Chain A
Amino acid sequence: MEEKKALFEYLLRLGDDSLILGQRLSEWCGHGPILEEDIAMTNIALDLIGQATNLFEYASSLGVDKRSADELAFVRYEKDYRNLLLVEQENTDFGYTLARQFLFDAFRKPFFEALSQSSDQQLAAIAEKSLKETKYHLQHSSEWMIRLGDGTDESHERIQQAVNQLWAYTEEIFEQDQIDQQLIQAGIAVDLSVIRASWTKQVQAVFSEAGIDLPQNTWQQKGGRQGKHTEHMGYLLAEMQFMQRAYPQMEW
């Protein structure tokens, strides 16, 4: 594949992860468990939307096709979104939201660390900015995992349950295909097999302090990078794309 096209595809994957998780988190705005945490979650959502914007703008600037950043974000079919299944999972409760966030942050931090060394300077710059944000996100979600895991009996049970449910979407994080391989060889993309150890270490350390058991289920769900999503995705998009679908081709 032409390198530009591969990069475009890669940017969509990263952008979609940020966008869809930002969309999910933003559902909390106004409904958080306490005012301070409402504000904190919105900050994280804002960071993620900002990352998505940077990534889509870069993708759009490559000139692979004529779509703007907003069109990339809002006017694709479900099967054309490339995000991990993990990030599209429903908020369910604060425990699920936090567990989802933690499993993702623990991946994103080493990922952006590595990506900030990318030979593609623009991508490296986006990664460097995102890394600062992500370090904070990981600190926030790690501390909450520990509070919930080592809090009350109820919170322990809830967070363990959330982790058990979401575990099936963790293997996919480290899936790589030809696009990854091509861009890794060009020094642009991150070799996910290399950062996996860092993710595992962080997850184990936090789980251990939180008293959360590592789930034993080995059966894993995959397909997000190929556009095969879970049932939640359609509803998320129906809401997110409402304006574009109801009033096509207008500017806002």
Chain B
Amino acid sequence: MSQAEWPLFEVFIRSKNGLNHKHVGSLRAADEEMAIQNARDVYTRRSEGVSIWVVQSSLITASDPQDADALFEPADSKIYRHPTFYDVPDGISHM
């Protein structure tokens, strides 16, 4: 049995400039530098990225799916936040 395991890191990759970093998976590494290098070797073998973020998985705080109703459903009724909620007279463009 292996006692001391390398910590788990989550990997985020920017596929090209102009786009957000996106979560692609995880890996193990002894330290942050190694995590970056491993991410490069594991997740960008086919030129999938121009920038990498890594963060130790244990440092991430996630919302509880059980609270999803309370967290996210109230936004569903606020349709006035979307542009399609508003009538714009014919002939008006660029708005």
Task: Tell me the minimal C-beta distance from B52 to chain A in angstroms.
Answer: 13
If A34-B6, A140-B37 touch, whether A39 touches B42 (CB-CB below 8 Å) is yes
Bitwise, B30-43 to A at CB < 8 A (1) or not (0) is: 10011001100110
Docked-complex contact A34 and B41, CB < 8 angstroms: no
Residue of B nearest to A40 (CB): B41
If A143-B33, A147-B30 touch, whether A36 touches B45 (CB-CB below 8 Å) is no
Report Cα–Cα, A139/B33, bound state, in Å.
Answer: 10
From residue 77 to 136 of chain A, which have CB atoms closer than 8 A to chain B?
none
Q: Is A202 an interface residue (CB 8 A)?
A: no
Q: How large is the interface on A (under 10, 10 to 19, 20 to 34, 35 or more residues)?
A: 10 to 19
Docked-complex contact B28 and A43, CB < 8 angstroms: no
Residue of A nearest to B45 (CB): A43
What residues on A are CB-neighbors of B55 within 8 Å?
none
Task: Tell me the minimal C-beta distance from B15 to chain A in angstroms.
Answer: 19
Report Cα–Cα, A39/B45, bound state, in Å.
Answer: 10
Report Cα–Cα, A223/B47, bound state, in Å.
Answer: 40
Report Cα–Cα, A139/B36, bound state, in Å.
Answer: 12
* Number of residues of chain B lying within 8 A (CB) of chain A: 12
Cβ-neighbour of B29 out of A36, A43, A139, A140 (below 8 A): A36
Residue of B nearest to A42 (CB): B41
From residue 136 to 160 of chain A, which have CB atoms closer than 8 A to chain B?
139-140, 143, 147
Report Cα–Cα, A97/B6, bound state, in Å.
Answer: 21
Report Cα–Cα, A40/B40, bound state, in Å.
Answer: 9
Report Cα–Cα, A140/B41, bound state, in Å.
Answer: 11
Cβ-neighbour of B41 out of A43, A139, A143, A147 (below 8 A): A43
Docked-complex contact B34 and A143, CB < 8 angstroms: yes
Docked-complex contact A36 and B42, CB < 8 angstroms: yes
Docked-complex contact A36 and B33, CB < 8 angstroms: no
Report Cα–Cα, A213/B27, bound state, in Å.
Answer: 33
Bitwise, B20-32 to A at CB < 8 A (1) or not (0) is: 0000000111100
What residues on B are CB-neighbors of A37 within 8 Å?
38
From residue 1 to 55 of chain A, which have CB atoms closer than 8 A to chain B?
34-37, 39-40, 43
- Pick from A36, A37, A139 the residue with the most CB of B within 10 Å: A36
Report Cα–Cα, A34/B45, bound state, in Å.
Answer: 18
Docked-complex contact B6 and A40, CB < 8 angstroms: no
Cβ-neighbour of A39 out of B6, B34, B41 (below 8 A): B41
Residue of A nearest to B5 (CB): A34
What residues on A are CB-neighbors of B37 within 8 Å?
40, 139-140, 143
Residue of B nearest to A147 (CB): B30
A-B contact pairs, 25 of them (CB 8 A): A34-B6, A34-B28, A35-B28, A36-B27, A36-B28, A36-B29, A36-B34, A36-B38, A36-B41, A36-B42, A37-B38, A39-B38, A39-B41, A39-B42, A40-B37, A40-B38, A40-B41, A43-B41, A43-B45, A139-B37, A140-B37, A143-B33, A143-B34, A143-B37, A147-B30
Top 5 closest A-B pairs, CB basis?
A36-B38, A40-B41, A39-B41, A43-B41, A36-B27
Name B's A-contacting residues (CB within 8 A). Answer: 6, 27-30, 33-34, 37-38, 41-42, 45
